[in-house]
Every structure is written in structure tokens, then in C-alpha cells.
């Protein structure tokens, strides 16, 4: 079955939000607590008493990335500045101040009108601190964080590149996504993973077989030399485990808890190479013993883009709190493209 670019982009946005919401109640619980609540099978759907799923800051910041791309297209403002402004608007939704005058960014965009995005759903400390302390728009953060806050919001840049292949080659896609992540994360693993993931997402959205997309990303990492060596090592390990058909439990043990960006990227690559369908992959991701919501979000973005919007668990999108805000952002994404 042929899946067009639009269906893959919808799938990526929705898949990320669903994976994020599935992992949200799981994160920070011990293995024993999870067994007690849900048994050995773990979470199989949204488990809040009202039956709804609630996405976290991962999806919130992803939508603000999409907003920045839309505003950049409409106004011609430098993209890195538009991205930084969008993340500062997200900071406002979390009720934290910034050193940069709100007058420079509050009057733009459309997501501030969405109440769901004003909920504080476990925002990452690194993102909060970097945005609060920033003094100049577009300047990279000064820290040594290799957390996944830059990676988790990079997918829209890959989708945008797929919609504009004549203007966005691999190098530009990688550079913009890396610079976007560098606004909050200063360690090379913290921002180069964002670039890698945007390239992967772009390739998959264009219909490139995932094996080939991984190989191309590895070749690009090799050109970066020492800067990309650690990320490349993790992606190669994911590829090796997939080739050996290592079971999920073994892969998790070897690839790590996912509290840092290179581990989550590798886990998503492993699932992209091994998951037989969206449901299997996203349930495995959401039950990850480490950073479950971020693993779910990033794996969901990838698996959704690989399989398109019609491959989801039936009816699950209707039970996603904030679905209308996501629909708005993605619809605007296509309007300006």
C-alpha cells in the first residue's frame, strides 16, 4: 500500500502524541509498581480513570516547533529566531518568566489560545532553565545537558523538510534541527540527536525504506567525526540488535534507560527496525522501564510516520486530550506548505 506524505506527517504527529500519552502515567514508576497496577502485560491503553490520554511537554514543544515553522513561512523571520520565540511562548504556558521581553514574542502564533497547552505536564528542567536564562534570541544554551528535550521536538523539522525537498537537503535538515535543540541543550549528544532524528523522519516521510534511512543517517554521523561518534555507536548497536532479532527486553537492557538523548534515539531506531506494527511498537515504547513518555513520543513519531495515520489503535485518537489542538497545528502546517 502506498502512503502519501500527508498521511505520514499526520501519522507522525498523532503517533508521537499517542505514545507520549501512553507513557505519561508510567514514567517514574518502579517495575514493582507497574506490575502491581497493570500486571506483566503493562499499559495497553490509556489508563486514567476517565479513559483519556494526556500528552506531556514532549508533544507541547513539538507543536510549538510546528508553529515556528508556520510563522517563519508566513513572515520570513529567521527560522532559529522563530523557533526560540515559539519555545518562549511554551515557557509562558508553563508559568515561568524569561529574561527576554515578552513583547518580542507574545503577540505571535496561535497556540497560546489552546488551554490544553497551558497544563504543566512534567516540563524538563533543562528546557525550563535554558529558556528562562536566555538573553538573546537564537543564541545556544550554555550547559552540558544531553537530555532528550531537543530530540523530542525535532520531528516537525523533518516533516517540513519532506514537504520542501527542493529547499531542504539532508545537511540543512540536520543543521536546523541541531541548532533548534541547541537552544536548550549544550552537549553534542543533546543537540546532534535532534539533527539525526529530523533526517530520519524526513527520509521516512519521503518513503525511503527505514533500513536505508538508518544507513544514510549513520553515514552522515560518520562525517561528523568525534562529535557524532557516541550517537553513531548507539545507533549501530540498535541496528545490530535488530539484525540479531534480540528480544525487546534484551534491547532495552543494552540500549539504556532512555534518560539521555542518544539512548532514546537508539531505542526508537530499534523499534523502527523490529516492530511488526504500530500498536506493538508503541506499547513496547510506552512500557519502557526508563523515560517512558519520551520513548513513547519519539518512537510514536517515527512509527506513525512509517505507517501513516490509518495504522493506529482504533478509536484511540478520539480519547486523546488535546486532540483538537494537535489537529489545529497540523492543519495550519499544511495550509502554508
Per residue in 175-194, pLDDT tens? 999 999 999 999 999 999 99
Residues 6+ apart with CB under 8 A from 266: 234, 235, 237, 238, 255, 256
Would you say the C-alpha torsion 310, 314, 318, 319 has a positive or negative sign?
negative
Q: Give the count of domains, the chain.
A: 1
* Residue 306: predicted pLDDT: 96
pLDDT at 313 over 90: no
pLDDT at 84 over 70: yes
Please answer whether residues 109 and 71 qualify as being in contact, where contact means their C-beta atoms are separated by less than 8 angstroms.
yes
Can you give the CATH number for the domain in which 23 is found? 1.10.4080.10
On the CB side of 101, how many CA atoms lie within 13 Å of its CA? 2
Question: What single-letter DSSP state applies at residue 153?
Answer: T
Residue 251 lies in domain: 5-335
The grid coordinates of residue 76 equal 520570513
Residue 337's pLDDT band (boundaries 50, 70, 90)? low
Please answer whether residues 150 and 205 qualify as being in contact, where contact means their C-beta atoms are separated by less than 8 angstroms.
no
Q: Rounded mean pLDDT of 77-85?
A: 98
Nearest 5°: phi and psi at 245? 55, 40
Please answer whether residues 96 and 130 qualify as being in contact, where contact means their C-beta atoms are separated by less than 8 angstroms.
no
Per residue in 281-291, pLDDT tens? 999 999 998 89
Please answer whether residues 319 and 46 qualify as being in contact, where contact means their C-beta atoms are separated by less than 8 angstroms.
yes
Amino acid at each position: 500500500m502506498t502512503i502519501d506524505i500527508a498521511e505520514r506527517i499526520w501519522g507522525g504527529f498523532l503517533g508521537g502524541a499517542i505514545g507520549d500519552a501512553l507513557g505519561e502515567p508510567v514514567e517514574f514508576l518502579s517495575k514493582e509498581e507497574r506490575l502491581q497496577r497493570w500486571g506483566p502485560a503493562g499499559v495497553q491503553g490509556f489508563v486514567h480513570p476517565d479513559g483519556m490520554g494526556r500528552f506531556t511537554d514532549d508533544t507541547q514543544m513539538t507543536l510549538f516547533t510546528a508553529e515556528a515553522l508556520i510563522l517563519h513561512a508566513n513572515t520570513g523571520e529567521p527560522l532559529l529566531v522563530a523557533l526560540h520565540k515559539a519555545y518562549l511562548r511554551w515557557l509562558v504556558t508553563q508559568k515561568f518568566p524569561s529574561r527576554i521581553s515578552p513583547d518580542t514574542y507574545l503577540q505571535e502564533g496561535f497556540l497560546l489560545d489552546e488551554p490544553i497547552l497551558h497544563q504543566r505536564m512534567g516540563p524538563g528542567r533543562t528546557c525550563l532553565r535554558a529558556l528562562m536564562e536566555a538573553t538573546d534570541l537564537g543564541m545556544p544554551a550554555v550547559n552540558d545537558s544531553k537530555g532528550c528535550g531537543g530530540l523530542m521536538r525535532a520531528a516537525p523539522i523533518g516533516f517540513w523538510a519532506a514537504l520542501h525537498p527542493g529547499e531542504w537537503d539532508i545537511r540543512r535538515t540536520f543543521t536546523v534541527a541541531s541548532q533548534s535543540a541547541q537552544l536548550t541543550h549544550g552537549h553534542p549528544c543533546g543537540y546532534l540527536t535532534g539533527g539525526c532524528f529530523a533526517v530520519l523522519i524526513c527520509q521516512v516521510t519521503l518513503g525511503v525504506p527505514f533500513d536505508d534511512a538508518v544507513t544514510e543517517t549513520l553515514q552522515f554521523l560518520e562525517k561528523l567525526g568525534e562529535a557524532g561518534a557516541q550517537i553513531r555507536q548507539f545507533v549501530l548497536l540498535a541496528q545490530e540488535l535488530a539484525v540479531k532479532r534480540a528480544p525487546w527486553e534484551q534491547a532495552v537492557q543494552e540500549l539504556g534507560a532512555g534518560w539521555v538523548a542518544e539512548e532514546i534515539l537508539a531505542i526508537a531506531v530499534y523499534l523502527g527496525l523490529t516492530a511488526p506494527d504500530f500498536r506493538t511498537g508503541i506499547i513496547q515504547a510506552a512500557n519502557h522501564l526508563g523515560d517512558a513518555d519520551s520513548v513513547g513520543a519519539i518512537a510514536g513519531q517515527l512509527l506513525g510516520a512509517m505507517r501513516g495515520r490509518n495504522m493506529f489503535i482504533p478509536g484511540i485518537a478520539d480519547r486523546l486530550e488535546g486532540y483538537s489542538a494537535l489537529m489545529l497545528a497540523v492543519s495550519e502546517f499544511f495550509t502554508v506548505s
